[in-house]
A and B are shown apart, each in its own frame.
Chain A
Amino acid sequence: MHRRIAGLVFACFCAGQLTLQAEDFKLLDRNVEIHGFASQGFIYTNTNNWLTMNTSQGSAAFTDFGFNVSTSVTDKLRVGAQFYDRNLGHLGQYHPSLDWAVVDYRFKSWFGVRGGKVKTTLGLYNDTQDLDFLRTFALLPQSIYPTDLRDATIAHLGGDVHGRLPLKHGLGNLAYTAYAGHRSDSIYSGYEYLASSYKLYYSRMGGLQYGGDLRWNTPLKGLLIGASRMNEDLTGKGTFINPFNPDAGLLPESGHSKADWTNQFYGEHTVGKLRIDSEYRRFLHDERDHSGVTLLFENVTDVRGWYVSGAYRVMKRLALGSYYSRYSVTSVTRGPFALLFPPQTDTSQPANHIYDKVITARVDLKKFWDVKVEGHFMNGYAYSTYPDGFYPQVNPQGFKPNTNALVIKTGVNF
């Protein structure tokens, strides 16, 4: 019965009988808008399992959806909220969350404030990384936008000041954002999942997050360049099993960042139907972990990534794209538990990098419905104290140096 209904729905979509469109309605004389999206993906890999899924057998544990409601209360005041849910292999696990909930007051075009749970402006795509329908690629370059670590950067509970300043003499305009707030990770996120492979179980992870973004819409048509900076002061609390004394059972554990910052530089150029993007990110994480007052270890992880991408709309319903992405990680650990984390400093080793060549085709079946087919050709697996897609729990036999992946993803939005 369900298959018949699903088949009928699919047939109606194809026949153009069904359509999805945003809804709006009046409430207390204000126009209220409702929008939503959903996507379903499938990944097959030829060697290593990827993104916590059993992809070497083919996996469709790659689903997300969300919807939002918003309205303008006055000419200058906007409110809205978005709910989001996802499952990505062992991550997410369909625990819905408040994605954002914002009150935004625009005093002038050059100065506004917003508060609540606010999407974080970091680089070109951090705040829109879930919104597949906006771009050609099924997966953003994982060197900069790791989907398994979405929680680390996606939003902060706090406030922003923002605005756009036109420049004289035809020099374009500057858009700025400055923010401060609290980051709170889901325990179903990638970092927590990696930690569990070391028998470290976080019950909470988060802390102060503040930073800014400045982007210049240059006088050259279609050219944007910018930079972002983020600082964090994080604390993680949980329990762990001491590998040198497992009989002691679960012991308390807390980690605290001594230094935690991200620099990101980016540029985007759109010329007609061609868009070229490039970004560079460096993330430095210096953390100390204790059990009670006992120092367990101090770890410094240095992550660097960059990519160059191009996407071209060939015809109304077909776009092609490609990118080259490079990710490297170094990690040095000191302290009593340093033995568990051998130093990783040679980025030429597959364990310390991922170089990814990607090619994508996007077909828009309807205005609201797209399908993407994407190939990834990866060298390296970057298994370190900081994850980037490859986890030991789903690769118990160890890692192979190269992974090719086929990603098929479909999505709707309204």
Chain B
Amino acid sequence: MKCPKVHLVAAGLMIFVPLNAVASDVKVIANASVKADTISAADLKRVFLEEKNSLADGSHVEPVLDKDRQVHAAFLQEYLGMSEDDLQAYYRTLVFTGRGSMPKALGSDAEVVAYVARTRGAVGYVSSAANTEGVKALAIWTPSNSAERKLITRVEPDYPEALKRLNIGGTVRLQVSISAKGNVENVELLGGNPILGESAAAAVKKWVYAAGRSRTVAEVSISFRGH
């Protein structure tokens, strides 16, 4: 079978912003009602500071705190950049001026997981070793200036015949989660024709990158321009 000629912009791949996933002592979890599988560190902070109660996909979110001292301290340091006293003062400012509420705080990882599992929109955190059955783990990403991951194996996407015949092309944008070993763990369509996106995602899932220090989230653009 002839390989469809697919024009790929910028030598076949455009990575806009290499985004590093944060390797951490804590795991961020969410109720199944939260549609996203990833969340930026900035948005996570805004959720826990009650500046944001919904994500871009429309999912309602509300923060849940873990009172386990170590887990809580690790989360504060890594994601909020605040001390416990400052965080409590912040929440009390919201409560006593009528601008927010005191988030639910639970005593252990198991209690946090149970609460998040049954509460719509709940977003919490537990130790990285905790059993998180019944909830989803959110990958956290931050923009960084580190060098992009080197692509070792690239599989070209198929150009669906029906669209090619109709000369329907365009650029699709994908968010790609890459494991530390270099496998593509997850692909999400960020924009573009959904049928082309499906084809692009199927190909990108077979890509292999060079091993890195930690999980990485990258943005990839692939253009389809048939002849």
Contacts and interface: CB of A to CB of B under 8 A. Distances in A.
A31 to B, nearest CB: 8
A72 B95 CA distance: 12
B51 A134 contact: no
Interface string B45-85: 01000011110000010000000000000000000010101
B89 interface: yes
A75 B92 contact: no
Contacts of A290: none
B98 A221 contact: no
Contact of B95 (A70, A221, A222): A70
Interface in A87-108: 100-102, 104, 106
B28 to A, nearest CB: 19
B146 interface: no
Most buried by A among B42, B60, B92, B101: B101
B99 A104 contact: yes
A31 B104 CA distance: 10
A75 B97 contact: no
Chain B interface size, as a band, is 20 to 34
Contact of A68 (B53, B98, B121, B143): B98
11 contacts: A22-B95, A35-B92, A70-B95, A75-B60, A78-B101, A82-B96, A109-B46, A131-B93, A134-B92, A134-B93, A270-B86
A76 interface: yes
Contact of A109 (B51, B97, B143): B51
Contacts of A102: 98
A22 B102 contact: yes
A104 B96 contact: no
Interface of B: 42, 46, 51-54, 60, 81, 83, 85-86, 89, 92-93, 95-102, 121, 143
B97 A166 contact: no
B92 A413 contact: yes
A133 interface: yes
A272 B199 CA distance: 49
Contacts of B121: 75
Given A75-B121, A128-B93, A131-B93, A82 B85 contact: no
Nearest to B86: A270
B61 to A, nearest CB: 9
Nearest to B96: A131
Interface in A154-170: 164, 166, 170
A170 B142 CA distance: 11
Contacts of B102: 22, 33, 35
A273 interface: yes
Contacts of A221: 81
A66 B97 CA distance: 12
A286 interface: no
Nearest to A76: B53
